């Protein structure tokens, strides 16, 4: 049964943040948590069981790009290779509802790379609880949008998440409604921005225009 944490959406209680961080760090927990775009699933970067658990919950194959959720730009820069153009693009857009696909550095375990491209997704969310959790952890979270098989949108209600996933996650964090749009995903790995998913971030800043 998943533990349920009801946290303040603007000023999350330090005790609750510390308890969730301890579960992730010490118990290798899989956590459903709110972000600035939608609910997500998260675990330790070096978790041996977390990636496969996320794949099972979401019905994903091994080609899925996981996202490394970072506390700040300095932490992000240790995980991915940034040329000058990518540095400026990511710096200008973060924190916010964006995921950037870039070539991974040696700091990222190979099992988390895209098997062909050797890339990984990274992001810095703009959400009080996530920011507090990442500071408490002192390391990134391995994460993926909580989009369940057969559903068009991620869930928004913490209790609904707990009822749905009570047997397959270890903790659910509820900080109020966080929306249903996942991040906008931009692939910067080949030097030219390619918007591969349109979500909460305005893709126009990367040259994307809607058809019609």
Q: With respect to residue 88, please indicate whether it lies within any of the assigned structural domains.
A: yes
Q: Is residue 212 predicted with pLDDT exceeding 70?
A: no
Averaged pLDDT score across all residues of the chain: 91
The answer, yes or no, to whether residue 43 has pLDDT greater than 80, is: yes
Q: Residue 207: inside a domain, yes or no?
A: no
Q: Could you tell me the CATH number of the domain that includes residue 29?
A: 3.90.870.10
Answer yes or no: are the C-beta atoms of 98 and 186 closer than 8 Å.
Answer: yes
**Which DSSP state fits 191?**
S
Specify the 3-state DSSP secondary structure of 114: coil
Q: Give the pLDDT confidence of 97-139 residue by residue, as tens digits.
A: 999 999 999 999 888 887 778 899 999 999 999 999 999 999 9
Residue 154 lies in a domain: yes
Range 136-154 average pLDDT: 91
Whole-angstrom distance, CA of residue 57 vs CA of residue 41: 9
212 located within any domain: no
Domain, as residue range, for 32: 3-202
- Determine, yes or no, domain membership for 37: yes
Residue 197 has pLDDT above 50, yes or no: yes
* Within a domain: 209: no
In this prediction, residue 154 has a pLDDT band, given cuts at 50, 70 and 90, of: confident
Counting the structural domains of the chain, the total is 1
Percent of the chain with pLDDT over 70: 98
Over 90: is that where the pLDDT of 171 sits? yes
> Do the domain assignments include residue 115?
yes
pLDDT of 180-194, one tens digit each? 888 999 999 998 899
Convert the pLDDT of each residue in 73-106 to its tens digit.
999 999 999 999 999 999 999 999 999 999 999 9
Other C-beta atoms within 10 Å of 152: how many? 7
161 lies in some domain:
yes
């Amino acid at each position: 049964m998943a533990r349920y944490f009801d946290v303040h959406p603007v000023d999350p209680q330090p005790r609750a943040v510390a308890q969730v961080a301890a579960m992730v760090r010490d118990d290798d927990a899989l956590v459903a948590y709110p972000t600035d775009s939608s609910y997500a699933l998260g675990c330790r970067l070096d978790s041996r069981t977390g990636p496969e658990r996320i794949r099972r919950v979401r019905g994903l194959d091994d080609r899925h790009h996981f996202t490394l959720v970072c506390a700040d730009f300095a932490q992000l820069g240790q995980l991915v290779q940034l040329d000058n153009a990518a540095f400026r693009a990511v710096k200008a857009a973060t924190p916010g509802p964006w995921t950037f696909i870039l070539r991974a550095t040696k700091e990222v375990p190979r099992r988390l790379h895209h098997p062909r491209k050797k890339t990984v997704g990274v992001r810095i969310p703009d959400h009080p609880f996530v920011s507090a959790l990442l500071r408490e952890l002192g390391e990134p979270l391995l994460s993926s949008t909580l989009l369940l098989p057969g559903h068009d949108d991620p869930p928004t209600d913490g209790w609904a998440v707990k009822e749905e996933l009570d047997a397959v996650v270890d903790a659910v964090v509820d900080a109020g409604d966080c929306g249903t749009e996942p991040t906008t995903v931009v692939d910067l790995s080949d030097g030219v921005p390619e918007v591969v998913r349109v979500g909460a971030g305005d893709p126009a800043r990367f040259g994307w225009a809607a058809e019609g």
